[in-house]
Structure 1
Amino acid sequence: MTFNPNGIDRRVPANSDGAVPAGSVIILSASAGAGHDGAANELADRLRTHGFQVRLYDLADVLPWGLGRVLRGTYRGILTRASWVYGLLFAIGNTFVGSAPATRFLLRPARQRILDRLPADIRLVVSTYPIASQILGPLRRDGRLSVPVVTYLTDFAVNRIWVSPGVDLHCAAHGTTRSEALALGAGNVHVTGRMVADRFRPGSARARVRARQRFGLPAQGRLALLVAGSWGVGEVERTAAEIIRSRAAVPVVVCGRNAPLYRRLRRLGLGYVLGWVDDMADLLRATDVLVENAGGLTALEAMATGVPVATYRPIPGHGRANAVTMARAGVSSWIRRRKELGPILDELIEGERGSRQREAGLRLFESDPTQWINELVRREERALFIPSSSHTLRALRSGMVADVASRMLTGWGVRRGRSPRRYRTRTPARAGKRSG
């Protein structure tokens, strides 16, 4: 696959017959923080430019018995109040070889609920959340889901729960991510780049001045944007105080939806404190460096905006895993010790380290993952066309071809006086009713 070297081509591509791709795409995400949903929303917007009808489903609404909302609340509670517990569970899940098969077994009741939500014109299903991949992969592997399944790896680091057999394409951010996915047994992993909204791009000096005025920030001086996800988790107060003591920059802290954190920081006077920010792109352009603790969506947005990224005091679990992989990829600096905080922030803001990271981060956005996904659908479509004496017919999916052959044999048997067999009509979304 080739890409436009001068930037991302957002024109709607045509199929081989000149028609715009038709059909529906389902994106299955999870409202566990803003990162997974953010990726799903941007993916949906871009796939629509390719002519698809896109529907987004929240895993919390798919799991039976209200289990999804219970798990989401439990996850948030553990992450904000006892993050060490989450870190322990993450480590066990990533170390224990049977964690992914066990997860797939426990999620079996959700499989039929997914199938029941698929429209008749379904062409593709995408997962932006690891547990969702554990539901979709077995459906695809067992033939119950006959359209391609794509896992969009939102994290730089890959754990065992991200990898599920049956997935047709894994979209990785970087070569380091691809290597980790392959080591865990993932098939067909490609470095497809990353995507954020178009408004996240480097700004001019004038745009920087305007952004600082808009947020009430000083016109002069170095500013470090401190983020901790939409829930404001981690050692935010301690990090803000240590940035101030380092004298490398003044922190601008975004608390997200964590109102108690916002009130505490305002009371303590730890830098410039903001709550939920709708225009993160403008705020990024106002600052000199991003300090984060999870390797989430804001880190990607900073890279696209040309702001160097530092990971400091990462949260347990995926935060520390992402810190390792991002640093290895050269898109972030993992600051492991407090005494390193000031010197590394200095290097990122004004030194060669910052220049290298800006270049490495911007390269992630030179290609568009939706072009890979669109090509996968087009290959599947071309494989379903067989020539006829008068016109081109869309072939039925592999399971349906066998079904048609069986019907032909049954008809022959009836004419020969044999007992007919019963066959159930199969829809394009379901190639069989076997349990998996």
Structure 2
Amino acid sequence: MDRVVIVSARIGAGHDGAARELDRRFAARGAEVVRVDFLDLLPGRLGSVLCETYHRQLKTVPRSWDWLLGALGTPTLAGASRRFAGLAAPALREVLGDGTDLVVSTYPLGTHAAARLARTERGCPPLVTYLTDPSVHRLCVSPMAKLTVAPNEIAARQARSLGAGRVLVSSPLVSPAFRPGAGPAERLLLRRRLGLPRDRALALVVAGSWGVGQIGQTAADLVGTGLVEPVVVCGRNEVLARRLHQAGHRYVFGWVDEMADLMRACDVVVQNAGGLTTSEALATGLPVLTYRCLPGHGRANAAVLHDDGTVPWVRSSRELAGALDWVLRPVEAAG
């Protein structure tokens, strides 16, 4: 395999995170890898408008995302979304050129742009769809894909029911930096370097690259249990970081390049979306809880992860202390 084109999108960090790891693995096998952003393939400013609209929706009216995802699952709107994705097909055709051996998509609309080419042009390279979430929406799947890679058996069954052909279950794509900790000595060193307390159980609160969701309330609820000190990663949401500091939270980070080290310094991850960060935490050996999850894909992912026994879904503040006590017991027993 000589040339691989990977289609992702800068909508959140999960699609790009999977694309980066695919890039690393294909390059390690000697392939020439080209990564493109679906949003940049759209005509004019359509890509920027799409990204900005999605971001604004999650920040201002997040509950509408439940409704929208449901609507996009209907045949009419799903078809309209596929046609919209087709607007990126001409630019993608130019990227592919004549020497591409494989197209891999980590973003649903990128999948349908590549599928449009596969339907309408001869000689297009085979398409592989990589599913970044544990739950599968109708728009994540195309029958034109030669292979669909799912992160778990539940996602694989959902993909098949939505029309995917050959489906392979594979562990989530996670950078090798996300490894289990080497023991208490490494944790102590990391806490010292990151400016974290040495003698408290730490809950790492993550909210994706955009820092969306009920993060302030989550941090307050964690403090209220008396069991953990919250360590909050706000991504690029500077307003959220200021609000948390003003509320008295001491350990607040913005965009983090050393997320693997930060995870190994903490005792539990509390997340609200169930995507890439959850896979990274599990690869690091940390217990994970879903709490105050985002509407739409956040709730769908939470249900799958809870049902397969991977990540408990804590549905109320009353349940939070018990869930923390349960996941922290091995840490306390280990000293």
The equivalent of 1:57 in structure 2 is 36
Q: Pick closer, same or farther for the CA change 1:107–1:274 going to 2, 3 Å.
A: closer
Query: Following the alignment from structure 1 to structure 2, what is the Cα–Cα distance between the partners of residues 91 and 246?
Result: 35
Q: Pick closer, same or farther for the CA change 1:109–1:255 going to 2, 3 Å.
A: closer
- Is there any run of 5+ residues in structure 1 with no aligned partner, and where? 1-20, 353-436
Whether the 8 Å contact between 1:100 and 1:134 is mirrored in structure 2 is: no
Query: Following the alignment from structure 1 to structure 2, what is the Cα–Cα distance between the partners of residues 145 and 160?
Result: 27
The equivalent of 1:360 in structure 2 is none
AA aligned opposite 1:173: P
AA aligned opposite 2:162: L
Deviation at 1:118, TM superposition (A): 1.0
Deviation at 1:143, TM superposition (A): 4.4
AA aligned opposite 1:169: L
Q: Residue 250 of structure 1: which of 196, 211, 229 is its match?
A: 229
Deviation at 1:145, TM superposition (A): 4.9
Query: Following the alignment from structure 1 to structure 2, what is the Cα–Cα distance between the partners of residues 107 and 274?
Result: 35
Whether the 8 Å contact between 1:99 and 1:161 is mirrored in structure 2 is: no
Query: Following the alignment from structure 2 to structure 1, what is the Cα–Cα distance between the partners of residues 124 and 97?
Result: 13
Deviation at 1:213, TM superposition (A): 0.6
Q: Pick closer, same or farther for the CA change 1:51–1:88 going to 2, 3 Å.
A: same
The equivalent of 2:140 in structure 1 is 162
Matched, 1:237 2:216: yes
Could you list the per-position Cα deviations for residues 352-403 of structure 1 after superposition, in whole angstroms to 9, with x for gaps in the alignment? 9xxxxxxxxxxxxxxxxxxxxxxxxxxxxxxxxxxxxxxxxxxxxxxxxxxx
Question: Which secondary structure does the structure 1 equivalent of 2:45 belong to?
Answer: helix
Query: Following the alignment from structure 1 to structure 2, what is the Cα–Cα distance between the partners of residues 144 and 247?
Result: 63
Matched, 1:132 2:104: no
Could you list the per-position Cα deviations for residues 227-282 of structure 1 after superposition, in whole angstroms to 9, with x for gaps in the alignment? 10111000000010001111221110111111111011011113521112110111
The equivalent of 1:114 in structure 2 is 92
Question: Which secondary structure does the structure 2 equivalent of 1:25 belong to?
Answer: strand
Query: Following the alignment from structure 2 to structure 1, what is the Cα–Cα distance between the partners of residues 148 and 197?
Result: 44
Could you list the per-position Cα deviations for residues 324-355 of structure 1 after superposition, in whole angstroms to 9, with x for gaps in the alignment? 11112222111011110010111112259xxx
Larger Cα-atom Rg: 1
User: TM-score scaled by structure 1?
Assistant: 0.74
Matched, 1:328 2:313: no
The equivalent of 1:42 in structure 2 is 21
Q: Residue 197 of structure 2: which of 218, 228, 236 is its match?
A: 218
The equivalent of 1:386 in structure 2 is none
Query: Following the alignment from structure 2 to structure 1, what is the Cα–Cα distance between the partners of residues 138 and 30?
Result: 33
Q: Pick closer, same or farther for the CA change 1:145–1:32 going to 2, 3 Å.
A: farther
Question: Which secondary structure does the structure 1 equivalent of 2:263 belong to?
Answer: helix
**What are the equivalent positions in structure 2 for 1:273-422 lying under 5 Å apart?**
273-350=252-329
Whether the 8 Å contact between 2:205 and 2:219 is mirrored in structure 1 is: yes
Single out whichever of 172-181 and 264-273 deviates more from structure 2.
Answer: 264-273
**What are the equivalent positions in structure 2 for 1:167-246 lying under 5 Å apart?**
167-204=145-182, 205-246=184-225
User: TM-score scaled by structure 2?
Assistant: 0.95
Question: Which secondary structure does the structure 2 equivalent of 1:107 belong to?
Answer: helix
Report the RMSD for the aligned CA atoms in angstroms: 1.7
Deviation at 1:36, TM superposition (A): 0.8
Query: Following the alignment from structure 2 to structure 1, what is the Cα–Cα distance between the partners of residues 86 and 240?
Result: 39
Q: Pick closer, same or farther for the CA change 1:186–1:98 going to 2, 3 Å.
A: farther
Query: Following the alignment from structure 2 to structure 1, what is the Cα–Cα distance between the partners of residues 324 and 330?
Result: 9
Query: Following the alignment from structure 1 to structure 2, what is the Cα–Cα distance between the partners of residues 276 and 178?
Result: 32
Whether the 8 Å contact between 2:86 and 2:112 is mirrored in structure 1 is: no
- Is there any run of 5+ residues in structure 2 with no aligned partner, and where? none
**What are the equivalent positions in structure 2 for 1:27-38 lying under 5 Å apart?**
27-38=6-17
The equivalent of 1:268 in structure 2 is 247
Deviation at 1:120, TM superposition (A): 2.5
Whether the 8 Å contact between 2:204 and 2:232 is mirrored in structure 1 is: yes
Deviation at 1:41, TM superposition (A): 0.8
Could you list the per-position Cα deviations for residues 88-131 of structure 1 after superposition, in whole angstroms to 9, with x for gaps in the alignment? 2112113x133332222233332222112213221000100011
Deviation at 1:288, TM superposition (A): 0.6
Question: Which secondary structure does the structure 2 equivalent of 1:51 belong to?
Answer: coil
Deviation at 1:165, TM superposition (A): 2.2
Query: Following the alignment from structure 2 to structure 1, what is the Cα–Cα distance between the partners of residues 276 and 86?
Result: 30
Moved over 3 A (4+): 141-145
Whether the 8 Å contact between 1:240 and 1:271 is mirrored in structure 2 is: no
Query: Following the alignment from structure 2 to structure 1, what is the Cα–Cα distance between the partners of residues 36 and 81?
Result: 20
Whether the 8 Å contact between 2:147 and 2:166 is mirrored in structure 1 is: yes
Alignment length, in residue pairs?
332
Question: Which secondary structure does the structure 2 equivalent of 1:137 belong to?
Answer: helix
Whether the 8 Å contact between 2:38 and 2:88 is mirrored in structure 1 is: no
Deviation at 1:159, TM superposition (A): 0.3
Query: Following the alignment from structure 2 to structure 1, what is the Cα–Cα distance between the partners of residues 329 and 75?
Result: 44
Whether the 8 Å contact between 1:24 and 1:119 is mirrored in structure 2 is: no
Query: Following the alignment from structure 1 to structure 2, what is the Cα–Cα distance between the partners of residues 240 and 31?
Result: 27
Query: Following the alignment from structure 1 to structure 2, what is the Cα–Cα distance between the partners of residues 145 and 257?
Result: 41
